[in-house]
Amino acid sequence: MAFFCFFPVVMAGWILLPARPARLWLLGASWLFALWSGPEALLSLLCATVVTYGGALALERVNRGKKALLTLLLLCLFGALFLFKYLGFACTLLTGLGWPVQAPALFLPAGISFYLFMAAGYLVDVYRGKHRAARSFVDTALFLAFFPQLLSGPIGRAKELMPQLRTGRAPSWDGLRLGAFRFLWGAFKKLVIADRLGLLVSTVYADPAAFGRLQVIAAACAFSIQIYCDFSAYSDMALGCARMLGVELMENFKTPYFSRSIAEFWRRWHISLSSWFRDYLYIPLGGSRKGVIRKYRNVLIVFAVSGLWHGAALTFLVWGLLNGLYQVAGDLAARHRASLRRALRLGEDSPLTAGFQMLWTFLLSTAAWVFFKAESLGKAAAIFAAMVRGPWLTHPVTAWGLDRPELVVAGLALLLFFFVEVRTLRRPVGAGLLDAPRPLRWAAALLLAAAVLVFGIYGTGYDAQDFIYFKF
Amino acid sequence: MRIKRWRAVCWSLTFVGLLLLVTVFLSALLRPVRTNYGAVWKAYLAEPRDSLDYLWMGSSYAYCDVNPALVYDQSGLTGYVVAGPELTLSQSYWYLREALKTQSPSAVYLEVTALQFQTYQGYTQINVGYLPAGYNKLGAIFTASEPELREGLLCDLIFYHDRWKELTWEEAMEALSPPETDPGKGYTCVEGSDGTRGDSPYFRTAVDREVYGENLVWLDRMARLCREKDISFTAVLHPTWSRITEEKREEMAADLAELSIPFLDWTEAEGEMGLQPDRHYYDAGHFNRDGAAVFSRWLGEFLTRTEELTPRPQTGENRNSWEAAAAFWRS
């Protein structure tokens, strides 16, 4: 609720103040937003800002030792990330290998994985001469701290974001309406779908052996939808808020579960991170230019790093590597699959082929998400075991964490979600709504708001900060 | 261009207004309907304006012990119990302000066991949540409620939105129905005895000096508010078996005298009122239906003879309504 007081005040200042004070106002608000998550979040953000600002200027000015300077700056940024996020994991690994090390108790500053990647991307762009170093500290600070994207992305690029934040343009009327609707749609996905499915997933995953195979498989599929709705909901809200402020952020999802291969899935899922890895890791490693073996090695490296970016645990590493292996295997089997399609007389783009490919991609990603959700590799193994052993159904449906009315609501919400996803293939969320007559538009928005208010999972004991990707 | 912008602002405000209406409607629909145990504001607001002679305020000691319909039957005085479960004095203050928006009673009586209540007693969600929306509710939320409850008190849906599964058609109709007067007039009837009274009175643990001091400040505010409106304000302690110690009652009497608040200590007066513990207590704290009837009839006599309250003129319709309420409780 505090956010609903904070945001209109920030927006009013951003719109009403002259350009220069407005930027300071937005920066102050963004830092306050960071402070909300704890003093360590603000402190870490300020340090990253100082290093990035000074580093970019230095990179532009020095002629010799540029590469060494960039390496030093990246070591600073990723060193901080390692310290806060991976030191504990490294100590656990070392302890497991027989060298007991006690990890210091450090808070993980909120949003650190996101803004440090933005900072690193910006420094590399300056190094490559693709972007000029910002002369103004406020430019750099606002780029890294802009509050809608601070905690969970999208991982913005300086080229797109800095000019928008520098000019401080007022939002358009259409932008305001679309932004508000996008925010509302995000709230629906998060509170009505993701958190509702989360109850089912948590119940089944807590003791998978106690449930039938079909129930465990259904819970795994439910988690695929839960994590998509959860993360894309945050992106929708971030994009919506930014749009209401007149800033366009990068789209982070493009209906990923309609992908026909894992490679395509990763071009449509968490796009800002995938494209970051492509531009700043995969291509510098040689990409696909240096032979097939190097290409596959690079793919596996990128996915392993991507897995670790999501969390400091072996489960995330396995999840990343599994996605990389899917891609390698998909590439290796491409010719055989084409032969099989020809043998079955299926067109490459026939609805049956596309449908099967989408289903297969969904199942593959669902299997990988099991590692993502499980607390340990042993737990993941237990979940897979419960999918193939024991009875097909054990408990009545009402013992799933969702009773019958909740399941009906979840089903109806998923139908609406599917309908919107199909429409989104052609136009962004809410874009078609502006062409509709006002009564229809208002009715749609009010019904959606009412659905969130009544069917949303929130209230006493609910943690509004509990987005899955906030942990990263 | 400017007209277009203003038009956009107007449409936006209209939409936000509609959204608020939807929220209010859903809140009214999903909040549990309560018509007793203090949550009686809807019925209170249905009483004709300026028709009440007195208000009886306090906690469950007030709403279980005083039956205004029987006070009326005895004396012709119209009154209402404006109380809530373990209503703290800070909450009572906002209750009084809200109650005086539609009524101008000659006297307000406050059952002051709450002077020995903690700052928050655990029924805030009911006591503040059911206050009519407005400035007084906001005041109660920000000065008389636990900080962690404030969001839910500002928006009922936070507490009650997940009741959509249990909501029945009848309850929905009741929730949305217009306010109607209630023969209870704020009284909540409990029958018989729950068997927990015990063989002798027990004594409440006194609160910290600091909390007691804060409670006195709120009590003083209520007294001042009544003085401003030329309403007599009296603190009372009902007969009860869950008693404040004599020492603390003497301290209270001295403090109230210092604040110029009249104080009626009836803690041990059950005998002179005709109350018999075995027959008239529901538990150690509250009267049962018969006990409330005896106490209320005694109160009718006391208010007219000792306090010299006189019934104000009523419309025929309202008189009939009170007669019907009295008949309901006589039967």
Is residue A17 pLDDT above 70, yes or no?
Answer: yes
**Is the pLDDT assigned to residue A472 strictly greater than 60?**
no
**What is the pLDDT, as a whole number, of residue A289?**
87
DSSP string for B170-238: HHHHHHHSPP---TTTT-----S--S-S-SS-EEPPPPPHHHHHHHHHHHHHHHHHHHHTT-EEEEEE-
Domain-embedded: residue B49: yes
Which pLDDT does position B298 carry in this prediction?
Answer: 96
**Partners of B82 in the beta sheet?**
B57
Q: Which two tokens stand for residue B58?
A: 């306090």
Helix or strand (DSSP H, E) at B55: strand B54-58
**Is the pLDDT reported for residue A471 higher than 90?**
no
The string of pLDDT tens digits covering residues A21-75 is 999 999 999 999 999 988 999 999 999 999 999 999 999 998 888 999 999 999 9
**Average pLDDT of the segment spanning A244-265:** 94
DSSP A402: S
Residue B20 lies in a domain: no
Whether B258 is covered by a domain: the verdict is yes
pLDDT of amino acid B102: 96
Q: Is A270 a catalytic residue?
A: no
The nearest CA of chain B is from the CA of A429 a distance in Å of 20
Say how many residues make up chain A: 472
Domain that holds residue B256: 31-330
Residue B309, in any domain of the structure? yes
Query: Smallest Cα–Cα separation from B233: which of B92, B122, B129?
Result: B92
SS3 A102: coil
Residue A26 and residue A146 in contact, taking contact as beta carbons nearer than 8 Å: yes
Residue A4 at interface with chain B, using a CB cutoff of 8 Å: no
> What is the CATH classification number for the domain harbouring B120?
3.40.50.1110
B6 assigned to some structural domain: no
The candidate with the shortest Cα–Cα distance to B256, out of B286, B302, B216, B222, is B216
Q: Is there a domain that residue B19 lies in?
A: no
Is the dihedral angle over the CA atoms A188, A190, A191, A197 positive or is it negative? positive
Q: What is the mean pLDDT of residues A179-196?
A: 95
Residue A455 to residue A448: CA distance in whole angstroms = 10
The answer to the question of residue B246 being in a domain is yes
pLDDT of residue A465 exceeding 60, the answer is no
A281 vs A430, more confident: A281
Specify whether the CB–CB gap between A368 and A319 falls below 8 A: yes
Q: What residues contact A375, with CB distance under 8 A and at least 6 apart? A: A315
Kindly state whether B165 is in contact with chain A, defined as any CB-CB distance less than 8 angstroms.
yes
Is there a domain that residue B8 lies in?
Answer: no
Task: Kindly name the residue from A270, A310, A336, A395 that is annotated as catalytic.
Answer: A310
Q: Choose the closest CB to B164 out of A442, A449, A454.
A: A454
Rg (CA), chain A: 23
Tokens of B305: 């003879």
How close is the nearest chain B Cα to the Cα of A12, in Å? 13
Helix (H, G, I), strand (E, B) or coil at A310: helix
What's the token pair of residue B97?
């302000």
Q: Residue A316: is its pLDDT beyond 60?
A: yes
Write out the H or E segment, with its range, that includes residue A353: helix A351-373
Q: What is the pLDDT of residue A92?
A: 83
> Are the beta carbons of A459 and B154 separated by less than 8 Å?
no
pLDDT 10s digits, A212-229: 999 999 999 999 999 999
The answer to whether B34 and B155 have CB atoms below 8 angstroms apart is no
pTM comes to: 0.88
**Degrees to nearest 5, angle at CA B252 with B248 and B257:** 150
Question: Among A472, A471, A467, A1, which Cα is nearest to A234's?
Answer: A467
pLDDT of residue B292: 96
Gap between the Cα atoms of A274 and A268, Å rounded: 9
First CA to last CA across chain A, in angstroms? 24
- Kindly state the percentage of chain A with pLDDT values over 90: 71
Q: What is the pLDDT of residues A154-170, one digit of tens each?
A: 999 999 999 999 886 67
Cβ–Cβ gap B15/A455 under 8 Å: no
Is B157 close to A450, i.e. CB distance below 8 A?
A: no
Number of domains in chain B: 1
Q: Are strands B79-83 and B232-237 parallel, antiparallel or unpaired?
A: unpaired
Between A2 and A395, name the one with better pLDDT.
A2
pLDDT lower than 50: segments of chain B: none
Report the residue of A440, A448, A460 to disrupt the B interface, i.e. the one with the largest count of B CBs within 10 Å: A460
